[in-house]
Chains A and B, each alone.
Chain A
Amino acid sequence: MESIAWLLHLIPKYDTLPELWRALIPIVVSCVLFFALLCLIVLFLVWLERKISAHIQDRLGPMYVGGWHGWAQTIADSLKLLLKEDIVPDSTDKLLFKMAPFIVFLGAFAAYVVVPFGISSFVTDLNIGILYVVALGSLSVIGIIMAGWASNNKYSLYGGMRAAAQIISYEIPAAIALMTVIIQVGSLSMVDIVNAQKGGIHHWFLFRNPFTFLAFFIYFIASLAEVNRTPFDIPEAESELVAGFHTEYSGMRFAFFFLAEYANMLLVTSVATTLFLGGWTQILPGPTQIIPGPILFFLKAFAIIFVQMWLRWSVPRLRVDQLMYLSWKVLLPISFVLVLGAGWMAVR
């Protein structure tokens, strides 16, 4: 944020603009820049998924588009989706149908403003940072239900209902697992949480005490369900419901859902990295930052994303009732115990 403000001062006559503009423009510019950066990373993630899935399935994946291993495949696919005909079926609820992808997209992208990628690489440092992120996770549920209902299609309705049940159920163990870290830090601000883990790998919450160690895995599983990844991808179960809640969407609207899924994936891994893996802090203890903060951050996030993708292509899907059982009868009690333990460690 500061760097953006500094850059803007270089524009001639910037200081003569009224107060309101000078407050708003840095925010808008940094949001747009973050958005652009995130879009690029999401495009990269889609390519990565296709390559990983291909090699797990003993085939090659994209190879031609752009030359070396098809790196431009996602760009080509996005262009294709942009150029497709925009089909809005006649019997749908038009307003909801058109709004739904944007709400899902919003739920995924708006949370990035508080995630610290580096020592000063974040848009803003809210003092309720992590609460803000968790709250925005619920916004995408509304979008999914809107998509399922407005499509006027029984399959989409099923997908929407299942998604609502799943996401809402898994938010609770996820949030409680995050609380184990928050209790130990004493602050909801993401920047404070990262700063509490400075000083090497043994300070990371993952390795600091057994409660947060287990909480990491609870959060990992619950976040898979939050973003509708296999083994929890029943809302979009291709083999049962054609395509679940986004059956009727095509072209750019579908692209929004698709991008939102990967952005969501990156979001939950960013949160996991920030809270459990030390964010942008160094692996080795010492004063100097050998690898720059943002790069280290993304390396850690991509490691977790790799595991998420690996799981998707290895493991079958859970059934709805088994999913609910897992959340309410397995993850939730364990996360309660972990929170108690973390609280005890914090006051000790």
Chain B
Amino acid sequence: MEAEYSGEIMTLSMGPQHPSTHGVLRLELKTDGEIVADAIPHIGYLHRCFEKHAENVEYPGVVPFVDRMDYCAAMNMELGYVLAIEKLLGIQINNRVRCLRIIMAELDRIASHLIAAGTYGNDIGSFTPFMWCFRDRETILDFFEETCGARLLYNYNWVGGLMHDVKPGFEKRVIEFVDYFEPQVDNLNKLLSDNYIFIRRTANVGILTPETAISYGVTGPNLRGSGVQFDVRRNEAYLGYEEFEFDVPVGKGEYGPVGSCWDRYMVRIREVRESCKIIRQAVAKLTPGDVHESIPKRVKPPAGEIYMRTECPRGELGYYIVSDGSTKPYRIKVKSPCFTVMSAFREASKGTMIADIIAILGSFDIVLGEIDR
């Protein structure tokens, strides 16, 4: 009797081509009117089998492949990989390389979160934050372009060092950018984050309890949005992050239950401010040096395996690398943060409406290149 009155279930495929799925993702929605009974994600449209390619290429040659996984935050992708190889080889990098890596990683984090915030506003219906975020991101991309020649896929972090040193005056310009940019975050908050309609759309939707989040392996801003204070840069610091002072923002449920879309989005905005702090400290710690100093002639790590994880803008990126003593990796397995957060999507979207599906998907901030590899 209930089923008769509730209408028939219609299968709507938010297919691989859709303006809001942030890539080629297919969401099979079983809808009853506007309510979604089930939302099943289908991935694999961007699968390039990077892990197989990596077995046929030498260790330094894997870095461009790794870029193309999460193309919005390529610096962080490379960083995890080269740190893993350097740990296997036992290479120590000098202070200049370390500080430049941190500056680039944090600038990339800001750029990635700007994409997340802008496209999220776009999905919810507010078109202006998108333009404002991309305007600011252009300056960051200009920094990357002048340093390594590319705007999006850098091949900058090499095993043992960096591709090029930065141009003269780079530090001053980065500080100028950070000074210009921090007030822009307030503008963005006034326009989007504190907007009543935006809060009504996102603050009661897509709740992920901390237990569910940890069980589904959710990490990064998505986990911190649920109230769990965990950041790899703090808890398992790499690259000397323990010397830097920054807060780890956590979702507090100001406008609804903890773990809503608004919390996750707000964690990213607050993280952008923390990244600005880290950049200032890293520029202050920068010393002259040679970035090519520790680059080995031949990368031939001893046989063994390692698991290295770093905090990339979308969560924890893990590299499990098995080496057999030759110049080519035996096996590289990537634990991609967006992959695990998509596995929680079905759970998070039970009983919501179609408009909420878009809100939840946008708050997870996925990039299909990383999910499919």
Is there a direct interface between A and B, measured as CB atoms under 8 Å apart in the complex?
Answer: yes
The one of B18, B34, B122, B128 in contact with A314, judged by C-beta atoms closer than 8 angstroms, is B128
Measured CB to CB, the closest approach of chain A to B260, in angstroms, equals 14
Stretch at the interface among B51-59, B213-221, B354-362: B354-362
- Closest-CB distance, A182 to chain B (whole angstroms): 32
Q: Once the chains are docked, how many angstroms separate the CA of A171 from the CA of B191?
A: 30
**Binary CB contact string for chain B from 125 to 145 against chain A (1 if under 8 A, 0 otherwise):** 111101110010000000000
B195/A316 in contact, CB under 8 A: yes
Asked if A233 and B126 make an inter-chain contact with CB atoms under 8 angstroms apart, the answer reads no
- The stretch among B196-204, B233-241, B244-252, B282-290 that forms the contact with chain A is B196-204
Of B19, B121, B131, B192, the residue contacting A59 (CB under 8 A) is B131
Inter-chain CA distance A114–B34, complex, in Å, is: 39
Chain A interface helix/strand/loop/mixed: loop
| Cβ-neighbour of A322 out of B121, B123, B195, B200 (below 8 A) | B200
A237 touches B191 (CB 8 A): no
Query: Once the chains bind, are A316 and B124 in contact (CB under 8 Å)?
Result: yes
Measured CB to CB, the nearest residue on chain B to A237 is: B125
Residues A58 and B131 in contact, CB atoms below 8 Å apart: yes
Does A315 lie at the interface of the complex (its beta carbon under 8 Å from any beta carbon of B)? yes
| A19 contacts the other chain (CB 8 A) | no
A239-B191 CB under 8 A given contacts A57-B131, A154-B12, A314-B128 = no
A239 and B125 form a contact (CB under 8 A): yes
Task: Tell me the complex Cα distance, A155–B20, Å.
Answer: 14
> Are A240 and B128 in touch, CB under 8 angstroms?
no
Chain B 343-363 interface 0/1 with A at a Cβ cutoff of 8 Å (1 = within):
000000000011110100000
B303 interface residue per 8 A CB criterion? no
Residues on A with C-beta less than 8 A from B18 are 242
Q: A230 interface residue, CB < 8 Å from B?
A: yes
Shortest distance in angstroms between B119's beta carbon and chain A's nearest beta carbon? 9
Is the Cβ of B131 less than 8 Å from the Cβ of A230? Answer: no
Q: Knowing A319-B356, A322-B200, say if A230 contacts B125 (CB, 8 Å).
A: yes
Indicate whether B150 reaches chain A with its CB closer than 8 angstroms: no
Contacts of B200 in A (CB 8 A): 318-319, 322
A48 at the interface (CB under 8 A from B): no
In contact, B128 and A231 (Cβ under 8 angstroms): no
The answer to whether residues A239 and B128 also contact, given A315-B195, A315-B197, A316-B195 and a CB cut-off of 8 A, is no
Q: Contact between A239 and B123 (Cβ–Cβ < 8 Å)? A: yes
**Contact yes or no, B131 A240, CB < 8 A:** no
A78 to B226, CA, bound (A): 50
Q: Shortest Cβ distance from B8 into chain A, in angstroms? A: 13
| Chain B residue total in the interface (Cβ 8 A) | 30
Is the pair A314, B126 in contact by a Cβ cutoff of 8 Å? yes
Shortest B133–chain A CB gap in Å is 11
- Tell me the nearest residue of chain A to B123, going by C-beta: A239
Name, among B18, B125, B200, the residue most crowded by chain A CB atoms within 10 Å (CB to CB).
B125
Q: How far is the CA of A334 from the CA of B334 in the complex (A)?
A: 58
Across the interface, A240 reaches (CB within 8 A) one of B20, B126, B195, B197, namely B20
- The answer to the question of A208 belonging to the interface, with a C-beta cut-off of 8 Å to chain B, is no
- B306 contacts A by Cβ under 8 Å: no
Which residues of chain A in 201-252 are interfacial with respect to chain B, using CB atoms and an 8 Å cutoff?
A: 230-231, 233-234, 237-240, 242
Contact call A318/B128, Cβ cutoff below 8 A: no
**Across the two chains, which residue of chain A brings its CB closest to B21?**
A239
Contact of A56 among B123, B128, B198, B358 (CB under 8 A): B128
Q: Which of A57, A158, A234, A238 meets B132, CB within 8 Å? A: A57
A237–B201 Cα distance when bound, in Å, is 14
B132: which A residues are within 8 A, CB to CB? 57-58
The residue on B at minimum CB distance from A322 is B200
Interface string of A135-169 (1 = CB under 8 A from B): 00000000000000000001100100000000000
Task: Tell me the residues in window 320-373 of chain B with beta carbons closer than 8 Å to chain A beta carbons.
Answer: 353-356, 358
Q: Does A298 contact B (CB under 8 A)?
A: no
| B192 nearest in chain A by CB position | A316
User: B369: shortest Cβ distance to chain A, in Å?
Assistant: 21
| Complex contacts, B123 vs chain A, CB 8 Å | 239-240
A317 to B124, CA, bound (A): 6
Residue of A nearest to B10 (CB): A154
What separation, in Å, do the CA atoms of A320 and B358 have in the docked complex?
A: 13
Whether A315 pairs with B122 at a CB distance below 8 angstroms is: no
Given contacts A242-B18, A314-B191, contact A234 B127 (CB under 8 A): no
Q: In the complex, what distance in Å separates the CA atom of A101 from the CA atom of B11?
A: 28
A234 to B201, CA, bound (A): 13
Minimum Cβ distance to chain B for residue A44 (Å): 22
Give Cα A128 to B192, complex, Å.
44
Decide yes or no: A321 and B353 within 8 Å by CB, A240-B358, A316-B124 being known contacts: yes
Residue A313 at the chain B interface, CB threshold 8 Å: yes
Cα distance, A159 to B92, chains bound together (Å): 59
- Tell me which residues across on chain A come within 8 A of B198, comparing CB atoms: 316
Q: Are A320 and B355 in contact (CB under 8 A)?
A: yes
Q: A57-B127, A314-B191 are in contact. Are A320 and B353 (CB under 8 A)?
A: yes
Residues 147 to 184 of chain B near chain A (Cβ within 8 Å): none
Instruction: Determine if B354 and A240 form an interchain contact, defined as CB atoms under 8 angstroms apart.
Output: yes
Which residues of A290-348 have CB atoms within 8 Å of chain B's CB atoms? Answer: 313-322
Least Cβ–Cβ distance between A99 and chain B, in angstroms? 26
CB closest chain-A residue, reference B119 = A239
Question: How far is it, in angstroms, between the C-alpha of A158 and the C-alpha of B355 when the chains are bound?
Answer: 12
Look across to chain B and name the residue whose beta carbon is closest to the beta carbon of A57. Answer: B131
Report yes or no: A313 in contact with B128, Cβ–Cβ below 8 A. yes
Q: Is the CB of B355 within 8 A of A316?
A: no
CA distance A318 to B195 in the complex (A): 12
Can you add 17 more A-B contacts, CB < 8 Å, to A154-B12, A316-B121? A53-B127, A56-B128, A57-B131, A154-B10, A230-B125, A237-B355, A239-B125, A242-B18, A313-B127, A314-B128, A315-B125, A316-B192, A317-B197, A317-B201, A317-B355, A320-B34, A320-B355
A-B contact pairs, 24 of them (CB 8 A): A56-B128, A58-B131, A59-B131, A231-B197, A233-B125, A237-B125, A239-B19, A239-B122, A239-B124, A239-B125, A240-B20, A240-B354, A240-B358, A242-B19, A313-B127, A314-B191, A315-B195, A316-B195, A316-B198, A317-B125, A317-B355, A319-B353, A320-B353, A320-B355
B contact residues vs A (CB 8 Å cutoff): 10, 12, 18-20, 34, 121-128, 130-132, 135, 191-192, 195, 197-198, 200-201, 353-356, 358
Q: Chain A: residues with CB nearer than 8 A to chain B?
A: 53, 56-59, 154-155, 158, 230-231, 233-234, 237-240, 242, 313-322
The 9 closest A-B pairs by CB, nearest first: A317-B125, A57-B131, A316-B126, A316-B125, A316-B124, A239-B20, A319-B355, A239-B123, A316-B197
